């Protein structure tokens, strides 16, 4: 564990389930005050109750749809200053580029990119003023290596990585850290929407990451100057090779990539 999280105020978007829920649990176990943000109020309330019963956690909820960027400023004014922002809200839909709808394109960018940027802008002034804070952006290995049937999702995650890398340099003279988390597939509800036919999960199910392991890793680096978390290691190795030899990897991995 890096610096103590006791009494640190942590806002987690997309906290009503999956990875966001597990990050909330692990953060609360470290003594943080957790602010759960998501669209589904009933699930937020249920999670808050469980965390209170099991962990005696300091926890509050706020309904937030990050795609509605015009509402984010008001939400952050209600929340007040935070020490750590985990931009976890996001979704994907796996379809060939020709079949992907413009509506899905718009929705994915609104949530995965514009919402993330808007939340970050609202959190940063206080962090910079106190010269301490941490922005944690949940990106994806998809932001590092492109695969078929995920052109829109991959584009959003490339955008998240580009934004995060630039922001990190802008904040390098401050005490505010920026970390990107680049996991491969995780066993969460994400794939109920992303993989409607179930083909991708069937192909890669045995390699999927445990959300508890991913969440534990994320919480372990909070308030430390960690540039990236890349999971699993073997997939990140392929991503690194892809940066060096893209044509070779695309050719060698053609069959595997098309299993989505």
pLDDT tens-place string over residues 58-67: 999 999 999 9
* pLDDT of 8 strictly over 60: yes
pLDDT tens-place string over residues 84-117: 999 999 999 989 999 999 999 999 999 999 999 9
Q: What is the pLDDT of residue 1?
A: 42
- 153 flagged as catalytic: yes
Q: What is the pLDDT of residue 252?
A: 77
Q: What is the pLDDT of residue 243?
A: 84
Out of 153, 163, 177, 200, which one is annotated catalytic?
Answer: 153
Q: What is the pLDDT of residue 190?
A: 76
Q: What is the pLDDT of residue 205?
A: 57
Q: DSSP class of residue 210?
A: P
* pLDDT of 256 strictly over 80: no
* pLDDT of 208 strictly over 60: yes
Q: List the CATH code of the domain at 9-257.
A: 3.40.50.720
pLDDT tens-place string over residues 151-186: 999 999 999 999 999 999 999 999 999 999 999 989
Write down the mean pLDDT value for the chain. Answer: 91
């Amino acid at each position: 564990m890096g610096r103590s999280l006791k009494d640190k105020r942590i806002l987690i978007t997309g906290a009503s389930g999956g990875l966001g829920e597990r990050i909330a649990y692990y953060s609360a176990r470290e003594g943080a005050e957790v602010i759960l943000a998501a669209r589904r109020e009933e699930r937020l309330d249920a999670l808050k109750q469980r965390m209170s019963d099991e962990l005696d956690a300091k926890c509050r909820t706020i309904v937030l749809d990050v795609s509605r960027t015009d509402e984010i400023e008001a939400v952050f004014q209600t929340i007040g200053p935070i020490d750590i922002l985990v931009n976890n809200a996001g979704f994907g839909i796996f379809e060939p580029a020709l079949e992907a709808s413009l509506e899905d394109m718009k929705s994915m960018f609104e949530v995965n990119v514009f919402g993330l940027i808007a939340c970050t802008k609202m959190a940063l002034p206080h962090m910079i003023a106190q010269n301490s804070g941490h922005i944690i952006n949940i990106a994806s290995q998809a932001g590092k290596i492109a695969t078929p049937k995920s052109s829109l999702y991959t584009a959003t995650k490339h955008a998240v990585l580009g934004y995060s890398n630039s922001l990190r340099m802008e904040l390098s003279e401050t005490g505010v850290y920026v970390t990107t988390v680049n996991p491969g597939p995780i066993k969460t509800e994400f794939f109920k929407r992303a993989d409607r036919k179930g083909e991708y999960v069937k192909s890669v199910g045995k390699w999927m990451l445990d959300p508890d392991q991913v969440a534990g890793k994320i919480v372990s680096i909070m308030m430390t100057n960690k540039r990236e978390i890349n999971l699993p290691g073997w997939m990140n190795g392929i991503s690194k090779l892809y940066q060096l030899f893209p044509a070779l990897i695309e050719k060698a991995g053609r069959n595997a990539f098309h299993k989505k």
